[in-house]
Chain A
Amino acid sequence: MNLTEKILAAHADKTAVSPGEFINARVDMILVNDVTAPISIREFRRIGVSKVFDPRKIVMVPDHFTPNKDTISAENAKQMREFALEQGTLYFEVGQMCGIEHVLLPEQGLVLPGELIIGADSHTCTYGALGAFSTGMGSTDIAAAMATGDTWLKVPPTIKLVYRGNLGTWVGGKDLILYTIGRIGMDGARYSAMEFVGEAIEALSIEGRFTMANMAVEAGAKAGLFRVDNKTQLYIKSRERHAYNVYESDTDAEYARIIEYDISGMEPQVALPGSPANARPVSEVGDVAINQAVIGSCTNGRLEDLQLAAQILKGKKVHSEVRCLVFPGTQQVYLDALNLGLVEIFIEAGAAVSTPTCGPCAGLHMGILAEGERCISTTNRNFVGRMGSPKSEVYLSSPAVAAASAVVGRIVSPEEVSG
């Protein structure tokens, strides 16, 4: 069996499972946020049970419309806060080591290798970076799981993606995943699990793996998984809150498809507006002036991402016609960035540094685009209207490309700025 099949079999108390099979599987952690919780809570009440199955396995994170942007959002956040208190679930209050859920949960050691995690958010697949099977669902699925502690799943076929060659300077997880989605398309891994392997993946940082797993859903995948190695162990060591199991794909494991890429000489990638699959090398983007650059989110809001951006912005100024917004993923990332002097670099360069929030990523608040405006963003989606007006445009890239573009005022390779 492969990694996905082993994790699913273990959680369904089966010795083996195969693609296409429907299983009922126990979950180790359930996630909801301030957007999906109100519906989850309403549906949970309809089931007719008074208590969640296990409050220590449910985590509620106010991150989308927080700090609340209006009274409606405040009411929603309040509902979630009160439910968390009533049920005794895990809960992170704004400001109190909170942050964007998919940066927060791994950082807090709440999601670990070999686990099955579901969340009412499509980017729940992020935790695959740690060798877990994690997947996004809707509010009603989460309501049912909060009551029962399990969920139904169809065992997905797995696509193995092998990355050979060496990562170039300024090339990281974001570039690999944009490149991949650009090749296989937005439905290239529809209903499948993706397993990322190869020497370039081994060389990739944990942060880079989170970025890749995060965007597996942009290829339609149910999950995107990585093998547990020394880097994973090192990341988990000081964080783990409970015991976990490590699974590995057998050498004779079966895959629906194996795709190999040689990424030697690959340039940083940029996805043009409309779809994350519109990826191309930064040198082929053309002359694109920007109004805004967003650095952060659950895709690229980790310390390494901010370090990359700071490396570019140090001693430089954001272009006079560009708004550069930096969103650390969590309070911890923010604090680390402060201690390392990154925040100072951002402010001196003329960038706005915000408290952790989803804010601009999904066009919710803070950094909404007006008609005709263009933004380069380190987030994961550039659908029509994603960040505001349906007549605005979003280009996706790594933090290095976004920071370099903020300085020049149009989309450029980091090389152009770093000299």
Chain B
Amino acid sequence: MLKGKVHKYGADVDTDAILPGQYLNLTTMEELTRYCMEDADPEFLKKVRPGDIMMATTNFGCGSSREHAPMAIKGSGISCVIAQNFARIFFRNAINIGLPLLECEEVVAKTESGDTLEIDLSGGTIKNLTKSLTFAVSSYPGFMAELITAGGLIEYTRQRLESRRV
């Protein structure tokens, strides 16, 4: 169960805005976190608390393939990103590194910055505690669920290669 306050953004938040190019020579989550959302929301790091939830409308994470962007978001303590939809590379990257993403138009439409959400990832529900609303989210398609259960792509690949060797 995840629970936290919502930080909501608009459409087409690109990976340059999440993690500007000049910091791409950094490679650890700890270092990258210091610059999270620098161009999109300079106040973000002051506001965010562990467990908080990031929200956006459409095409979140478009642009560069930099995994540095979801790493910085994960490092900042964000427990889940909810959007109407995501750019495809960002989606893969986040799932691969274990940052949960949810696509749900309704919850985005009815939630504001500062609302508190409670998310049951396995049960497929999101509760807006501030507004006393409950939403259902569809589960990940079969293959992706396997990936998440394995604990990310690296674990999944390790298991796959091990089973090949047996």
Contacts and interface: CB of A to CB of B under 8 A. Distances in A.
Interface string A57-76: 00000001100001011001
Interface residues of B, number: 44
Contact of A144 (B22, B26, B62, B153): B153
Interface in B128-166: 141-143, 147, 152-154, 156-158, 160-161
A206 interface: no
Nearest to B141: A22
Contacts of B79: none
Interface stretch (A6-14, A135-143, A233-241): A135-143
A363 B25 contact: no
Interface stretch (B1-9, B43-51, B86-94, B111-119): B86-94
A243 interface: no
B92 A137 contact: yes
B149 to A, nearest CB: 15
Contact of A190 (B59, B93, B156, B158): B59
A46 interface: yes
A269 B16 CA distance: 23
B21 interface: yes
A416 B158 CA distance: 60
Contacts of A227: none
Given A36-B65, A220-B62, A138 B88 contact: no
A388 B20 CA distance: 9
Contacts, number: 136
A148 B160 contact: yes
Contacts of B126: none
Contacts of A36: 65-67
Interface in A10-51: 22, 35-36, 38-39, 42-43, 46-49
A146 to B, nearest CB: 10
B63 interface: yes
Interface string A244-287: 00000000000000000000000000000001000000000000
A187 B154 contact: no
Interface residues of A, number: 51
A127 to B, nearest CB: 15
Nearest to A388: B22
B17 A384 contact: yes
A358 to B, nearest CB: 9
A72 B154 contact: no
Interface in A366-394: 368, 381, 383-386, 388, 390
Interface string A208-239: 00000000000010100000000000000000
Nearest to B93: A138
B161 A49 contact: yes
Given A383-B16, A385-B17, A386-B16, A48 B158 contact: yes
B63 A381 contact: yes
A364 interface: yes
Given A47-B154, A381-B16, A122 B25 contact: no
B153 A122 contact: no
**List of 3 A-B pairs having minimum Cβ-Cβ separation, nearest first:** A138-B93, A362-B21, A138-B67
Interface of A: 22, 35-36, 38-39, 42-43, 46-49, 64-65, 70, 72-73, 76, 119-122, 124, 136-141, 143-144, 147-148, 152, 186-187, 190-191, 220, 222, 275, 362-364, 368, 381, 383-386, 388, 390
24 contacts: A22-B142, A35-B66, A36-B66, A47-B154, A122-B63, A136-B65, A136-B89, A137-B93, A139-B67, A139-B93, A140-B67, A140-B152, A143-B154, A144-B157, A148-B157, A186-B12, A186-B62, A187-B59, A190-B59, A190-B85, A363-B21, A384-B16, A385-B16, A385-B20
Given A22-B142, A39-B67, A190-B85, 19 more contacts: A35-B66, A42-B27, A47-B158, A72-B25, A73-B25, A137-B89, A140-B154, A144-B157, A190-B59, A222-B88, A275-B12, A362-B24, A362-B64, A363-B20, A363-B21, A363-B22, A364-B21, A384-B17, A386-B21
